[in-house]
Structure 1
Amino acid sequence: MVEFGKKLKERQIQEWQRYYINYKLMKKKVRQYAQQIEVGSQDRRHVLKEFSRMLDNQIEKIVLFLMEQQGLLASRLAKLGEQHEALLQQPDISQISELREAYREVGRDLLKLLYFIEMNAIGLRKILKKFDKRFGYKFTDYYVTTRSNHPYSQLQQVFKHVGLGAVVGAISRNLLDLQDRQGSYLSIYDQPSVAFQDPVIDSVKAAVDRLTHSTSVLQFLGQHALIMQEELPSPAEDRVHDERYHFMSLFLNLANTFLYMVNTYIVVPTADDYSMSLGAAPTVCGVVIGSMAVAQVFSSVYFSAWSNKSYFRPLVFSSIVLLVGNILYALAFDLHSIAILLLGRLFCGFGSARAVNRRYISDCVPHKIRMQASAGFVSASALGMACGPALAGLLQTNFRISKLTFNQNTLPGWVMAIAWIVYLIVLWFTFKEPARENEESNTSQEANSGTVENDRLESGLKQPLLLTTEDKKQEDDDGDQEFDGSEEASEESRKPATSIGSAYRLLTPSVKVQLLIYFMLKYAMEILLSESSVITTYYFSWSTSTVALFLACLGLTVLPVNVVVGSYISNMFEDRQILLASEIMVCIGIVLSFHIISPYSVPQYVCSALITFVFAEVLEGVNLALLSRVMSSRLARGTYNGGLLSTEAGTLARVVADATITLAGYLGQSRLLNVTLLPSLVICVSSIIATLYTYNSLY
Structure 2
Amino acid sequence: MVAFGKKLKERQIQEWQGYYINYKLMKKKVKQYAQQIENKTLERRQVLKDFSRMLDNQIEKIVLFLLEQQGLLAGRLARLGEERNSIEQEPNIGRMSQLREAYREVGMDLLKLLYFVEINAVGLRKILKKFDKRFGYRFTDYYVKTRANHPCSQLQQVFKHVGIGAVVGAITRNLGDLQEHQGSYLSIYDQPALRLQDPVIKSINSAIDRLLHSTNFLHFLAQHALIMQEEMLPTPTEEQIVDERYNFNSLLLNLANTFLYMVNTYIIVPTADDYSMSLGAAATVCGIVIGAMAIAQVFSSVYFSAWSNRSYFRPLVFSSIVLLLGNAMYALAYDLNSIWVLLIGRLSCGLGSARAVNRRYISDCVPLKIRMQASAGFVSASALGMACGPALAGLLQTNFRFLNLTFNQETLPGWVMTAAWLLYLVWLWIAFKEPAREEDNKKPHSTAETKQKDVMEKGLKQPLLLASDQNGRSSEDRDEDDGDGDDDDECDGSDEAPEESRKPATSIVSAYRLLTPSVKVQLLIYFMLKYAMEILLSESSVITSYYFRWSTSTVAIFLACLGLTVLPVNIVVGSYISNMFEERQILLASEVMVCVGILLSFNVIVEYTVPQYVISGLVMFVSAEVLEGVNLSLLSRVMSSRLSRGTYNGGLLSTEAGTLARVVADATITLVGLLGESHLLNITLVPSLVICIVSIIATCCTYNTLF
* Contact kept? 1:311, 1:433, Cα under 8 Å: yes
Partner residue, 2:513: 505
User: Quick one: distance in 2 between partners of 1:582 and 1:482?
Assistant: 37
Deviation at residue 547 of structure 1 after TM alignment: 0.7
Partner residue, 2:640: 632
Deviation at residue 302 of structure 1 after TM alignment: 1.2
User: Quick one: distance in 1 between partners of 2:150 and 2:454?
Assistant: 20
User: Quick one: distance in 1 between partners of 2:620 and 2:358?
Assistant: 28
* Contact kept? 2:482, 2:497, Cα under 8 Å: no
User: Quick one: distance in 2 between partners of 1:674 and 1:570?
Assistant: 34
Question: In the alignment, which of 437, 452, 455 is matched to residue 452 of structure 1?
Answer: 455
* Contact kept? 2:136, 2:456, Cα under 8 Å: no
Residue aligned with 1:507, SS: coil
* Contact kept? 1:322, 1:417, Cα under 8 Å: yes
More displaced, 626-635 or 377-386? 626-635
* Contact kept? 2:302, 2:647, Cα under 8 Å: yes
* Contact kept? 2:454, 2:483, Cα under 8 Å: no
Partner residue, 1:443: 445
CA 527–119 in structure 1, closer or farther in 2 if over 3 Å, else same: farther
More displaced, 649-658 or 585-594? 585-594
> What letter matches 2:108 in structure 1?
R
Deviation at residue 467 of structure 1 after TM alignment: 4.3
CA 147–343 in structure 1, closer or farther in 2 if over 3 Å, else same: farther
Deviation at residue 691 of structure 1 after TM alignment: 4.4
Partner residue, 2:553: 545
User: Quick one: distance in 2 between partners of 1:259 and 1:251?
Assistant: 12
* Cα RMSD, aligned residues only: 3.2
Partner residue, 1:359: 360
Deviation at residue 542 of structure 1 after TM alignment: 0.6
> What letter matches 2:350 in structure 1?
G
* Contact kept? 1:291, 1:345, Cα under 8 Å: yes
User: Quick one: distance in 1 between partners of 2:163 and 2:196?
Assistant: 20
1:492 equivalent to 2:500? Answer yes
Deviation at residue 578 of structure 1 after TM alignment: 4.2
More displaced, 225-234 or 528-537? 225-234
User: Quick one: distance in 2 between partners of 1:640 and 1:654?
Assistant: 20
Partner residue, 1:165: 165
Partner residue, 2:26: 26
CA 467–397 in structure 1, closer or farther in 2 if over 3 Å, else same: farther
Residue aligned with 1:214, SS: coil
* Contact kept? 1:134, 1:466, Cα under 8 Å: no
1:675 equivalent to 2:675? Answer no
CA 502–74 in structure 1, closer or farther in 2 if over 3 Å, else same: farther
Partner residue, 2:527: 519
* Contact kept? 2:5, 2:486, Cα under 8 Å: no
Aligned residues: 696
Deviation at residue 652 of structure 1 after TM alignment: 2.1
User: Quick one: distance in 2 between partners of 1:274 and 1:221?
Assistant: 35
Deviation at residue 605 of structure 1 after TM alignment: 2.1
1:480 equivalent to 2:482? Answer no
* Contact kept? 2:133, 2:456, Cα under 8 Å: no
CA 107–240 in structure 1, closer or farther in 2 if over 3 Å, else same: closer
User: Quick one: distance in 1 between partners of 2:524 and 2:604?
Assistant: 28
> What letter matches 2:541 in structure 1?
S
CA 152–675 in structure 1, closer or farther in 2 if over 3 Å, else same: farther
1:31-83 deviation line (CA, Å, top 9, x unaligned): 33334444444454444443343333333333333333333333433443444
More displaced, 270-279 or 305-314? 270-279
1:530 equivalent to 2:538? Answer yes
1:544-575 deviation line (CA, Å, top 9, x unaligned): 11111111122222233334444454455554
Partner residue, 2:111: 111
1:641 equivalent to 2:649? Answer yes
CA 157–660 in structure 1, closer or farther in 2 if over 3 Å, else same: farther
CA 503–58 in structure 1, closer or farther in 2 if over 3 Å, else same: farther
* Contact kept? 1:362, 1:370, Cα under 8 Å: yes
CA 589–182 in structure 1, closer or farther in 2 if over 3 Å, else same: closer
1:333 equivalent to 2:334? Answer yes
Residue aligned with 2:406, SS: strand
* Contact kept? 2:320, 2:352, Cα under 8 Å: yes
Alignment of 1:221-620 (within 5 A): 221-232=221-232, 233-234=234-235, 236-238=238-240, 241-242=243-244, 244-401=245-402, 404-436=405-437, 437-439=439-441, 441=443, 443-446=445-448, 449=452, 451-453=454-456, 457=460, 459-461=461-463, 465-467=466-468, 471=475, 474=479, 476-480=481-485, 482=487, 490-571=498-579, 573-596=581-604, 598-620=606-628
CA 183–570 in structure 1, closer or farther in 2 if over 3 Å, else same: same
Alignment of 1:92-111 (within 5 A): 92-111=92-111
* Contact kept? 1:141, 1:454, Cα under 8 Å: no
CA 185–489 in structure 1, closer or farther in 2 if over 3 Å, else same: closer
Identity of aligned residues (%): 76
1:178 equivalent to 2:178? Answer yes
Partner residue, 2:66: 66
CA 487–92 in structure 1, closer or farther in 2 if over 3 Å, else same: closer
CA 184–473 in structure 1, closer or farther in 2 if over 3 Å, else same: closer
> What letter matches 2:446 in structure 1?
S
Deviation at residue 138 of structure 1 after TM alignment: 4.4
Alignment of 1:104-143 (within 5 A): 104-143=104-143
Deviation at residue 346 of structure 1 after TM alignment: 1.9
User: Quick one: distance in 1 between partners of 2:515 and 2:569?
Assistant: 31
* Contact kept? 1:451, 1:697, Cα under 8 Å: no
CA 51–655 in structure 1, closer or farther in 2 if over 3 Å, else same: farther
Structure 1, unpaired ranges of 5+? none
TM-score (norm 1): 0.90
User: Quick one: distance in 2 between partners of 1:453 and 1:151?
Assistant: 29
> What letter matches 2:499 in structure 1?
E
User: Quick one: distance in 2 between partners of 1:681 and 1:154?
Assistant: 47
